[in-house]
Amino acid sequence: MRRTNDLGRHVRRLSLPLLLLAAAWATSPEAVARPSKGKAPPMLGSRDLLPGMKGYGLTVVRGQKIERFEIEVIGVLHNKLPDQDMILVRCAGLGLEHSGVVAGMSGSPVYVTDPKRGDLMIGAIAYAFPFNKDPIAGVTPIADMLPELDRPLRPGPENQRILPAPGKKAAGVRRADAGAAVAARPGAPRAVAGVDVAGLRPLAVPISASGFHPEVVKEFSAEFEGAGLGPVSVAGGGSGFVDMKPRPFEPGSAISLVIARGDMSLAGVGTVTWVRDDRFIAFGHPFQGVGQIHLPVGGAHVMWILASQVNSFKMAVPTSDIGVLDIDRQAAVAGRMGPKATWVPMQIRVRGKGIGTEKTWNVEVTDQPRFLPLAGAMVLANALKVSEPTADAASVKMKLTVELEGRDPVVIEDRFVSLDGTARLMEVRGLAMGLLKALVWNGFERLRPKAVQCELEVDEARDLVFLESARIPGEKAVVGRPIKLRLGFVKPNEGHKTVDVEIPALPRELAGEKIDIWFGPAADRPPERPEPHDVDDILRSVRDYQPHDRLAIVIKLPDRSWMIRGARLTELPMGVLDELSGHGRKVRRGHETIRITKDLPWAINGSGTMKVEVREP
């Protein structure tokens, strides 16, 4: 009996230290909530929360190590978003008192500690107040995020290739299970006193840019921020990807949404909220809010948190691919680990004419229509900026080729000239962005670029002429006979240049008329086209691109024409004209033209118009 009592006493003596050790471990940075395979996390609904409840959140502030920060519930904003509450919490620890809530924390899971049930997930850090001096965050309830794990995916376009992970199937969590776990408790407080919510907005998704010149980053930052992304940070280190074995996602892991990779890289940074089997949810707010999306995702290596009075953010670089992002909706983004999204390879070759330099850049860009034009233009502009940055006066000869799935490639050539170095040569990026937008946003069907190649030849010589004069011998035109037009140009440091162009014989119905002959760069007066009727009209239009070194002579004929369904209609009877005037389809008026073009070895500056009387023979 005595031994039994002694044993009980020893057990009791050991129990207290063990309990204290367990409690200490539970609150240590290493103790993080791990996902339960195939199940939803233990959680507490927004209607069950009370002001003053305390707990913790998980995020990465350095490297890939998940760490804890403390939170205290302030209250709940009911129906802050459509059919969605928002939980307000105060954060502490990990330097958040200094930096405030940080861009890149979107998706950081948040838990409250219940004395009986333990740690219960309540949601993900997703919103913040700009210029707020306190680390106050808006939390998206986990019950609104979990259904995105099971949202059915529509079949992707035939030319959208996602390579599946072999032998993996996603398990489901029923919406009813999530709803039962967060059933509202009668009498729970529903007011938040003394909180100004006017400026509450989603945390920005910081973009990590590696391999880019700071001036190029600055130039494109406004466009990224206009798309709901930013700020853009210039990360260091080779291609911008950390060479390490990918780690499976878990709550609090840093996640990167990769837009470009290779000799240059672009990736958005956020945080994973929950993982179930091979599925994950993150952010707690939309990325672009497009519904279904296909973006490559990987891990991220956080280098530093840059504290700012305007917008603190994580500086991070992406790690290797882990999977693909599928869903982009109000409450969360969701994706799968294992499958891989496809890329559009880009190759840019920049040659320095006369000095013998050559540099080739290889980058892969996501084929998502929202990002391919922007990222492609940024990559091209950076290649030109970094390869030939010092020319005082330069010209660039450009050949841009876009290979398309199932169609002939689109090839565009042009020449751009600058009188003050390559700073003004960024028109090449505008051309690239415009072409890619016209293809992937054509409005008729999905065109998938297979590859993009761009050859740039930079010359310090000024391949530019200025239009000086134009004359027709006799200053008159005779119907039935060709017209000889002589144009005079001035080329800097080389003097005068003369170009003769023959205009075909004018039709007899112009006899007695005075016609206007326009002459100048073909880029300034492209052909007048009807509204496109299908994707083939779009392709014909972009293939008929008019470069700056092409001379155009345009004569507008007096009779009007009508353009409808991709075609031009001329010489229509009055009854048809009256019918077209009230037509519901897109109908444009225009003029038939006589158009002559001639390619020159220089870019053309200047244009003009001359009025000529047309006579009988």
SS3 content of the chain, % helix, strand, coil (to 5): 20, 45, 35
Paired tokens of 328: 């982009």
Instruction: Give residue 58's pLDDT.
Output: 96
- pLDDT tier at 207 (50, 70, 90 boundaries)? confident
pLDDT tens-digit readout, 299-330: 888 888 877 777 788 888 888 888 999 899 99
3-state secondary structure 312-347: CEEEEEEEEEEEEEEEECCCCEEEEECCEECEEEEE
Instruction: Give residue 10's pLDDT.
Output: 39
Peptide bond into 389 cis (omega under 30): no
Task: Name which CATH class applies to 201-340.
Answer: mainly beta
- pLDDT tier at 563 (50, 70, 90 boundaries)? low
Q: What is the rounded CA–CA span in Å between residue 581 and residue 539?
A: 28
Please state which architecture CATH assigns to domain 344-459: Roll (3.10)
Quick check: 504 and 594 in contact, CB under 8 A? yes
Name which of 180-189, 287-296, 490-499 the model is least confident about.
180-189
What is the Cβ-side half-sphere exposure of residue 72, based on CA atoms within 13 angstroms?
8
User: Which residues neighbour 93 within 8 Å (Cβ) at sequence distance 6 or greater?
Assistant: 68, 69, 70
pLDDT tens-digit readout, 515-545: 889 999 999 988 877 778 889 989 999 999 9
Tell me which residue has tokens 């004395």: 115
Q: What is the pTM of this model?
A: 0.76
Residues 571, 573, 576, 582, CA torsion sign: positive
- Bridge partners of 284? none
Domain boundaries, the chain: 201-340, 344-459, 464-615
Percentage of the residues of the chain whose pLDDT score is greater than 70: 75
Largest CA distance in the chain: 137
pLDDT tens-digit readout, 574-583: 555 555 555 5
Average pLDDT, the chain: 79
Question: What is the number of residues in the chain?
Answer: 617
- Dihedrals φ, ψ of 185, to 5°? -100, 125
Quick check: 485 and 502 in contact, CB under 8 A? yes
Inter-axis angle of helices 372-387 and 214-226, nearest 10: 170
Instruction: Give residue 530's pLDDT.
Output: 75
- Bridge partners of 258? 267
Q: What is the rounded CA–CA span in Å between residue 239 and residue 455?
A: 22
